[in-house]
Each structure stands twice: as structure tokens, then as C-alpha cells.
Amino acid sequence: MKRILLAKRYAKALFEIALQEKAISEVNDDMELLMTVMAENRELRKLMTNPLITPLKKNHLMMSIFGSHLNKISKKFIEILIRKGREQEVAEIAYQYHKHFLDYNDIALAQLVTAYPADDYLRERITKLAQFSANKTLRFKESVQPEIIGGFKLQIDDYLYDATIQKIIADLHKEFAKNLYIKRF
């Protein structure tokens, strides 16, 4: 919990600087790149948390990997994080920045799970269904799970709407398991 609060503070500070410099989308692209690389590269995460490697070497490594791909604000921010000993928090700070960016642009991430690949018609219907999200535009992240048989699951932030055949069958199974009928002779 403490790490998340710390990451939120750093991300908010970075967002405010990027807003002043009118570079919020460029910095967001940088943060998405950092999130992706840190999530996929275990060796880099281990290296960043290794206390035997000096901050100067960590900074040099990060700049050699990301230097040509990052905005000057992002580069300077990473240097500050490493100097302050917060390099293990880079991925979480990048994620929190991305959340700030989405909130600022009134975008909500929607995780859509279907039994088969969704088409534009289904996305449009689901968007109409999910208008509860306070006039935010939805950005879909889709996945296919054939075991749900049919229907869909939609998750926006902490809200989960489960309209799958699998869920309906499970609910019916629970209902029949109660068996309230008492045989009388």
C-alpha cells in the first residue's frame, strides 16, 4: 500500500510537469513503453532492484536502453528516480501516470471477454450498455475465452458485468442445488 501511494505521488508530479510543458501524451507513450518493457523483462527488473549496482550504472543502463525512445521530461524523471533510490518503482509509477492520463482525457479502460472475437456491432452495443461510466469514452482490451460458451464479461475499473452463459448455468446450478421441494406422502 505504501508503495502505491508513493507511486501515485511521483506520477502526479510527473503529470503536472508534463501538463506544464504540454507533453502529456508524449510522456504517456514513454510510460506505456516503460510499463511494457519492465513487465516483459524480468532481468531488467532484477537489475533495477539489485543494491550492488550503483545508481550511476543503473542510470547509464536505462539511458542506453530507452534514451533514444524517451522524451527529455521522461529521461530527467528516470534520472531523478534512480538518484532518489526509487528505481524499483518505475513500473508502478508509469502505471499510475497512465491512469492520470486516462482520467484527464475522460477515457475508461474496458476489459471485454467474449467466447468468440467481438465485432464492431457488439462493441457498439456494449458501449451503449456501459454509459454509466460518467460520459467517458471506452478503450477496449479484448480477450477470447471459449469456455464462457456465449455472452460476455465487461470489466471497467472495479465494476464487473458478467453476462455469460457460463454464469447463467452456474446460477441455475446453485438454484437447483437448494432443492426446496419436500416430498410428502
pTM: 0.76
Number of domains in the chain: 2
CB 110 within 8 A of CB 140: yes
Query: What distances in angstroms separate CA 145 from CA 126, 142, 174, one per listed residue?
Result: 17, 10, 23
Q: Among the three residues 75, 103, 131, which one is the final residue of a domain in this structure?
A: 103
Considering the domain architecture, whether residues 6 and 96 belong to the same structural domain is answered as yes
Q: Among the three residues 38, 71, 103, which one is the final residue of a domain in this structure?
A: 103
Sheet with 137-144: strands ordered across:
137-144, 107-114, 151-156, 159-164
Q: Residue 95 sits in which domain range?
A: 2-103
Considering the domain architecture, whether residues 97 and 6 belong to the same structural domain is answered as yes
Considering the domain architecture, whether residues 75 and 11 belong to the same structural domain is answered as yes
Query: pLDDT digit of tens for each residue in the chain (185 aa)?
Result: 688 899 999 999 999 999 999 999 999 999 999 999 989 988 988 888 888 889 999 999 889 988 888 889 999 999 999 999 888 888 899 999 999 999 999 888 889 899 889 888 888 888 887 766 557 888 888 999 988 888 889 888 788 888 899 899 888 888 878 766 666 65
| CATH number of the domain where residue 174 is located | 3.40.30
